[in-house]
Amino acid sequence: MVMRYLTTKIIWFTCTQDGNTAVKLYPRATDPAANQYLTVRTLLQILSELM
């Protein structure tokens, strides 16, 4: 199992809704995943659990 610590504002996005002008930063401090260790899984791992 691979764990990664997810700090706030580490993932950046733009959105076509505002013409890609504003940068959205995630996770926010109020998001449940912020400042937590999260399990990193591949798509293959997830699919194998469903079979």
Q: List the one residue out of 37, 38, 35, 19 whose CA is nearest residue 27.
A: 35
pLDDT confidence of residue 15: 92
Residue at 36: amino acid letter: Q
Global pTM value: 0.63
Closest CA to 25 of 6, 46, 51: 6
- pLDDT of 30 > 80? The answer is yes
Q: How confident is the prediction for the chain on average, in pLDDT?
A: 90
Tell which wins on pLDDT, 23 or 39.
23
Helix (H, G, I), strand (E, B) or coil at 17: helix
Look at residue 42 in the predicted model and tell me its pLDDT.
83
